[in-house]
Chains A and B, each alone.
Chain A
Amino acid sequence: MNSLDKNVDIYKVGEKLGYLSYITKRYVELIGEEETRRLYNFNEQKLPKTIRMNTLRTDIETTENLLSQKGVKMRKLRDLPEAREIISSSVPVGATPEYLNGFYLLQGKNSLYPVKVLNPQKGEIVGDFAAAPGGKTSHLAQLMENEGKIVAIELSTNRCRSLKSNLARLGVTNTIILNMDARDSTSLNVKFDKILLDAPCSGSGIIVSDPSRKKSKSLKDIMSFHELQVSMLSKALEILKPGGILLYCTCSLEPEENEFVITKVMEEVNIKIDKIDVEGKPGLRQFGKYEFNQEITKAKRLYPQETNGEGFFIVKMVKEK
Chain B
Amino acid sequence: MNKEEISFRKAEEPELKVIKNSILKFFGKEATEVIFSKHLWIREGKIREVFALSEDINEAASSLDIKLYSAGTPIGSLWEEGFQLEIEGALMITNLTNKKLIVNTDQFLYGKSIFKENIEECKDSFNSGDLLIIFGKNKLHFGVGKAIIDSNKITESPPNTIVVKGYPNKPFDRGWYLRKGN
Contacts and interface: CB of A to CB of B under 8 A. Distances in A.
Our verdict on whether A and B bind, yes or no, reads yes
B177 A165 contact: yes
Contacts of A162: 181-182
B60 A149 contact: yes
Interface in A235-267: none
B178 A97 contact: no
Contacts of B178: 94-95, 100
Contacts of B182: 133, 161-162, 165-166
Interface string B149-182: 0000000000000000000000000110110111
Contacts of A190: 64
A148 B56 contact: yes
A97 B74 contact: no
Given A101-B141, A157-B3, A174-B54, A166 B66 contact: no
Interface residues of B, number: 35
Contacts of B60: 125, 149, 151, 176
A168 B69 contact: no
A282 to B, nearest CB: 37
Interface in A166-200: 166, 168-169, 173-180, 187-190
Contacts of B70: 160, 164, 176-177
A187 to B, nearest CB: 7
A100 B69 contact: no
Nearest to B73: A173
Contact of B109 (A100, A148, A189): A100
Contacts of A35: none
A56 to B, nearest CB: 11
B69 A164 contact: yes
A188 B66 contact: yes
Contacts of B130: none
A297 to B, nearest CB: 38
Contacts of A161: 181-182
B72 A178 contact: no
Given A165-B182, A169-B181, A175-B71, A97 B57 contact: no
B46 to A, nearest CB: 13
Contacts of A188: 64, 66
Contact of A97 (B3, B54, B140, B180): B140
Given A101-B174, A160-B69, A164-B70, A176 B64 contact: yes
SS of A interface (majority): mixed
Counting chain B CB atoms within 10 Å of each CB, the highest count among A98, A154, A168, A187 belongs to: A168
B138 interface: yes
B175 A100 contact: yes
B142 interface: yes
B69 to A, nearest CB: 4
A69 B140 CA distance: 14
B52 to A, nearest CB: 8
B65 interface: yes
A176 B69 CA distance: 8
A315 B182 CA distance: 30
B174 A97 contact: yes
Given A149-B56, A164-B74, A100 B66 contact: no
Nearest to A172: B73
A20 B45 CA distance: 45
Contacts of A66: 138, 140
B145 interface: no
A190 B87 CA distance: 32
A162 B67 CA distance: 18
A230 to B, nearest CB: 24
B181 A176 contact: no
A180 B136 CA distance: 39
B65 A97 contact: no
Interface of B: 3, 52, 54, 56-57, 60-61, 64-74, 87-88, 106, 109, 136-138, 140-142, 174-175, 177-178, 180-182
21 contacts: A100-B177, A101-B140, A149-B57, A151-B60, A165-B180, A166-B181, A166-B182, A168-B73, A168-B74, A168-B87, A168-B88, A168-B177, A169-B174, A173-B52, A173-B57, A174-B54, A174-B56, A175-B71, A178-B64, A178-B69, A188-B64
7 smallest CB-CB distances across A and B, nearest first, come from A165-B181, A100-B174, A176-B71, A177-B69, A179-B69, A162-B182, A97-B140
